[in-house]
Amino acid sequence: MITLIAFFVTLGVLITFHELGHYLVAKWCGVEVQRFSIGFGKVLFTRIDKHGTEWALSAIPLGGYVKMLEHADSLVEGSANKAFNSKPVARRFAIVAAGPLFNLALAVLLYACLNIVGQSEPVPILSLPKNGSPAALAGLQSGDQITAVDDVVTQSWPQVRYQLLRKVTQGGPAEITIDRHGQTLTKSLTFESSSDLSKTDPLRLAGLRLGGTVPIVNGVVAASAADQAGLRKGDVVLAVNDLKNPDVIALIDYIQSKGNQSITLKIDRDNRVLTVDLTPREENLQDGSKVGRIGVQLGGDPQMVEVRYGLFESLWRAMERTADTSVYSLQMMWKMVTGEVSWRNISGPVTIADYAGQTAKIGLSAYIGFLALVSISLGILNLLPIPMLDGGHLLYYLIEVAKGSPLADKWQQLAQKIGMGVLACLMIIALFNDFARLFT
């Protein structure tokens, strides 16, 4: 239920803001707006304001539209000045572009609010990199705190991820500044370009994982190796064999590598240090690999930092992040066209609904951040020069400016059919990817 509510709220906010952009600029340009509708299908609510605009809310919240007076009505006096097609091309361009631009403006507003209010985020302390990973080869160690990426200061793990994920699709080196027990060091980490970001976390593949969490036993599976060895809920793991003070991820990695091999855990139970001997049971995974498991649920709270900025810095950072994310989105789209990035990265409504529900459960800040990200995606998608989208209409207007007259109706109709086909193919791919993720 939370997922559905979060999904419909997401659609409602993004669609309303998008159509509001068209509406406000149309009114500013003197165009008569006949209807402002959110959703399709059966009308649930309708009201006509003093300007004659009908405001409607329909049952299927999967879109919306602003209906304007397209052509002058010879029977209505003064309608020529209020018709959309009677306006100069610059005003028509502004009206159409306003929808996507309002989505980008919404993202700036949401990011700025998060920056002003502040967010509690994990400190970017690294877990032990796996042997042979790029992070291990670069000399990064457990407990290293990342303080900057390519000279950009990073206070939290989400900031580190944001800076590094842009490197993943391009490949190449990234200069990482770390604090190791008070000593400042710089390491060069080389990323291999990844074509499919949908299957696994690319930073995890590089050996970069959030650490700094003290492993606590949150639950013990009945009849498991841990249960038989006497582990209890609330036990704090201090060491495993020669690995001292492991974080949650390092402890899991170590246990998984010791299938059918005896290990010794040093634990803290009610301020008493105890040792527990047990043997992880080797299990086969679906991909054919084998891992050791002891049958416990491990948890631990990472160190947190409050990230907050002043008004002007918040706005600047919000605009910068919106611009960076927009450019990154366009780069990803182009790489999909050229085949450098897999089409599996395209997501559809099922994935959006899933992420909306997950972020809503995490908290308001996570959900607002997700809302900003989807708003950017919607804005950029609608600016693409594909007929049926706002960007397609903008392309028509650019052609009109270049040739001095509107594009012929037959060519517009042909372009509309092509655009409809392109969008249908994209929707099929997105839904296929959605259900592939859902069932695999």
Catalytic residues, which ones?
19
Q: What are phi and psi of 90, to 5 degrees?
A: -65, -40
CB-based burial of residue 250 (10 Å sphere; 0-12 exposed, 13-18 middle, 19+ buried)?
Answer: buried
Angstrom distance (rounded) from CA 314 to CA 320? 10
The answer to whether 136 and 144 are in contact (CB under 8 A) is no
Token code pair at residue 278: 């047990």
- Across 245-321, the runs of DSSP E, i.e. the strands, are 263-269, 272-278, 281-284, 290-293, 296-299, 304-307
- Strands (E) in 194-335, as ranges, are 216-220, 236-240, 243-244, 263-269, 272-278, 281-284, 290-293, 296-299, 304-307
Of 169, 181, 110, which Cα lies nearest the Cα of 142?
181
- What is residue 85's DSSP assignment? G
Beta bridge partners of 184: 179
Angle at 411 between CA 406 and CA 412, to 5 degrees: 70
Q: Are strands 236-240 and 243-244 parallel, antiparallel or unpaired?
A: antiparallel
* Residue 238, Ramachandran bin (φ over 0: left; ψ between -120 and 50: alpha; else beta): alpha
**Which residue do the tokens 């919607």 mark?**
378
**Distance between start and end Cα atoms, the chain:** 23
**How many other CB atoms are found less than 10 A from the CB of residue 379?**
26
